[in-house]
Amino acid sequence: MSAVTDELDARLRPIAELCEGEVSFRKEGWRELILMKALRLVASGAQHKIDAILCLNHDNPTYPTKLYLAQPVGSDLNWNETVYLLDRSWHTFSWSNVSPDQPWFDILAAHLRAIDRGGKP
């Protein structure tokens, strides 16, 4: 394996611990994405398994990272956007200021905390 692949695998490994399916780094246009199949998460106290995409470089400075889910979960969130990525539609909620300048797992954890708390800090 090359050093690039080893580094990429090391960055994805903690995220893969939260998923029951494939976890892979993808690029689509300018976006750098992590595809997560069957991501296990908690939304408002209920457990879910859902496909998700973590965008590591969203083009809005207020929302520099975004978590997209196959369907909305948690009714207390502002589900304000639907996008088409990797050949399917994804939903996201309004959650700002999650910095891309941290480990990928920490970016994901910040978005998952928002889902679990219903968008409350």
**Residues 78-103 pLDDT 10s:** 888 899 999 999 999 888 889 999 99
pLDDT value, residue 4? 46
CATH number of 3-116: 3.10.110
| pLDDT on residue 13 | 93
Q: Band of the pLDDT at 1, cuts 50, 70, 90?
A: very low
Average pLDDT, the chain: 88
Please count the residues of the chain: 121
CA distances from 65 to 21, 47, 87, 92 (A): 22, 23, 20, 11
Q: What is the model's pTM?
A: 0.89
Sheet of strand 66-69: strand arrangement: 23-28, 31-43, 46-55, 66-69, 88-93, 79-85
Q: How far apart are CA 35 and CA 50, in angstroms?
A: 11
Question: Of 40, 69, 74, which Cα lies nearest the Cα of 54?
Answer: 69
Q: pLDDT for 12-60, tens place per residue?
A: 999 999 999 999 999 999 999 999 999 999 887 889 999 999 999 988 8
